[in-house]
Amino acid sequence: MTEASTPLPMPTTRTSDHLERAWSPDAVHILGKPTGAICNLGCSYCFFLDKEQLYEGDRFRMSDEMLDTYIRSLIEMHRVPQVTVAWQGGEPTLMGLDFYRRSIELEEKYRKPGMSFLNTMQTNGTLLNDEWCEFFAENDFLIGISIDGPRELHDAYRVNKRGEGTFDKVMEGLRLLQKHEVEYNILTTVNHINGDYPLEVYRFLRDDAGTDWMQFIPVVERVDEHGNPADLRGFHASERSVGAEQFGSFLITVFDEWVRHDVGSVFVQTFEAAARNWAGMDQSGMCVFNETCGLGLALEHNGDLYSCDHFVDPEFLIGNINEASIDALVSGKQQYDFGQDKRASLPQYCLDCDVRFACHGECPKNRFITTPDGEPGLNYLCAGFKDFFHHIDRPMKTMIDLMRRGQPAAGVMDMFAAEEQRFRDSLQEAGRNGPCPCGSGRKVKLCHGAPQSHPGGPPLPDELGLPRPPVTDRGKRAAERRTVSPPG
Ligand code: SF4
Ligand code: SF4
């Protein structure tokens, strides 16, 4: 695969008929950005920082009037009983607590009979205190907190405006969420650095951070040929971006740990989405792995509604909610076409791909390289996805088969344990100088009997290489489980 200066693969041009009704979705997921791109941190890879230029001179604060319009219009468009009100940024806590108290009041004001709300917020966690967490707990917020791994990996890019690491502040925020029993999950962006440490990242999140729900988002920053940020018009990946094979290897290593120890007890969003696609379900639960998209939009502080959080760009502005209802904007031809283009713009290479049912070309934002035969519009991460989806085929089929027979998918862990025990037995039988039972043709001592190399990537810096005692009860239980389970 080569990178090339090809045209943007799926431009959606706004025309006068862009609001002509093309579909009628019952629900929508809108990421509200009440502070626009404004954030108290300065994470080096943040794709949203340069969006400040879109609204130059603006205060970047959603007004009370806009909040009222938004909540009313959002509720009006829903024809299902649950409405998700999702807040993101920039850093949404910069709005202050009173803004979200008003949002809850407005939900009550405009609530339709039988309607309930899921309030969510994605935060860097650094501004959380007891008052915030009490509010979240009282109102059943689901909080996403961004942590990129243990200190050295997290602080590589997640820094404040002075360039200082934010690990301690974020962990303080996480502990407050846990103290107040707020429902939360952890979002980890996988970049060029932590991408080499999948096991360290995963075990840290599971055992030290104490989470059983995590999502891994690849950092893919598009830049021009000089390395300057170029967003949707860049056809190269920045050096901070995770590599395609690197991301595939990251997912494979985490999957191998998960499928041996944590099926049923740790939720990894990418693996759950894959399982749904392997089971042939309509929706994977992750827009990027669905055939089409278009129901995950982004609302700027001033009411501008964009096709997607990753397409906050004048070309993908659908309209302003002061001028048209959310229902009209979402149901219009422009947004419909945007979502359908995810499938329609796939290159032939993807159409012929044996794992398309699981990948679907991932997100159009990342489709900026060319296929081996020169067709534009291939996903930059393609090589990694191919590796990953091929690797998980057998365990996925096993888990789906177990569930179809009414058994828990966690039974796959017993299957691996039994296989590995058999393999260890045959290693013993072969002896150090016998042929390795893996079929490599080498002697055991030079193959699977050789001293183990580091399983998850290159050796870590000293601090990370040292064993860390788990800090949570859940972490202690997980550590105990690992010591009684056969090694992966
Ligand atoms: S453009 Fe990408 S992130 Fe946005 S909704 Fe479609 S698949 Fe999801
Ligand atoms: S793995 Fe590659 S070729 Fe296959 S669908 Fe995904 S991006 Fe396309």
Q: Per mean pLDDT, which range of 42-51, 117-126, 189-198 is the poorest?
A: 42-51
C-beta 143 within 6 A of ligand 2: no
- Res. 246: pLDDT tops 60: yes
Alpha carbons within 13 A on the beta-carbon side of 332: 25
Question: At CA 160, angle to CA 159 and CA 164, rounded to 5?
Answer: 65
- On average, the pLDDT of the chain sits at 87
C-beta 192 within 6 A of ligand 1: no
Mean pLDDT, range 195-203, rounded to an integer: 96
Identify residue 8 by its one-letter amino acid code. Answer: L
pLDDT recorded at residue 17:
62
- Res. 448: pLDDT tops 90: no
Residue-wise pLDDT for 140-180, tens only, equals 999 999 999 999 999 998 988 888 899 999 999 999 999 99
C-beta 349 within 6 A of ligand 2: yes
Confidence of residue 301 (pLDDT cuts 50, 70, 90): very high
pTM for this structure? 0.86
- Confirm if 251 and 355 have CB atoms less than 8 A apart: no
Mean pLDDT, range 219-229, rounded to an integer: 90
- Confirm if 157 and 209 have CB atoms less than 8 A apart: no
C-beta 310 within 6 A of ligand 1: yes
User: What is d(CA 47, CA 37) in angstroms, rounded to the nearest whole number?
Assistant: 9
C-beta 365 within 6 A of ligand 1: yes
Q: Are strands 376-378 and 369-370 parallel, antiparallel or unpaired?
A: antiparallel
User: What is d(CA 36, CA 201) in angstroms, rounded to the nearest whole number?
Assistant: 30
pLDDT recorded at residue 419:
86
Query: Cα(11) to centroid of ligand 1, in Å?
Result: 14
pLDDT recorded at residue 485:
33
Dump the DSSP string for 395-437.
HHHHHHHHHHTT--TTHHHHHHHHHHHHHHHHHHHH-TTSBPT
Which ligand minimizes its atom distance to the CA of 359? 2
Which of 382, 387, 388, 393 should be mutated for ligand 2, with most atoms under 8 A from CB? Answer: 382
Query: Cα(309) to centroid of ligand 1, in Å?
Result: 8
What are the residue ranges of helices labelled H in 60-203?
Answer: 64-77, 97-110, 130-138, 151-154, 167-179, 198-203
Beta bridge partners of 186: 145, 214
Angle between helical axes of 244-261 and 473-484 (0-180°, round to 10): 80
Q: Per mean pLDDT, which range of 51-65, 353-367, 387-401 is the poorest?
A: 51-65
Q: Are strands 296-299 and 304-306 parallel, antiparallel or unpaired?
A: antiparallel
pLDDT recorded at residue 136:
97
Task: List active site positions.
Answer: 309
Query: Cα(27) to centroid of ligand 1, in Å?
Result: 16
Query: Cα(383) to centroid of ligand 2, in Å?
Result: 8
**205 contact partners, CB below 8 Å, separation of at least 6:** 147, 149, 186, 188, 211, 214
User: What is d(CA 12, CA 6) in angstroms, rounded to the nearest whole number?
Assistant: 16
Confidence of residue 189 (pLDDT cuts 50, 70, 90): very high
pLDDT recorded at residue 183:
94
Mean pLDDT, range 395-411, rounded to an integer: 94
C-beta 125 within 6 A of ligand 1: no
User: What is d(CA 102, CA 123) in angstroms, rounded to the nearest whole number?
Assistant: 19
User: What is d(CA 90, CA 99) in angstroms, rounded to the nearest whole number?
Assistant: 15
Check residue 380 and report its DSSP letter: T
Residue-wise pLDDT for 11-29, tens only, equals 334 445 667 888 999 999 9
pLDDT recorded at residue 369:
97
pLDDT recorded at residue 178:
96
The pair of structure tokens assigned to 362 is 């991932």
Mean pLDDT, range 27-38, rounded to an integer: 91
The rounded percent of the chain whose pLDDT value lies above 70 is 86
pLDDT recorded at residue 96:
95
Mean pLDDT, range 88-107, rounded to an integer: 95
**250 contact partners, CB below 8 Å, separation of at least 6:** 190, 195, 198, 201, 216, 242
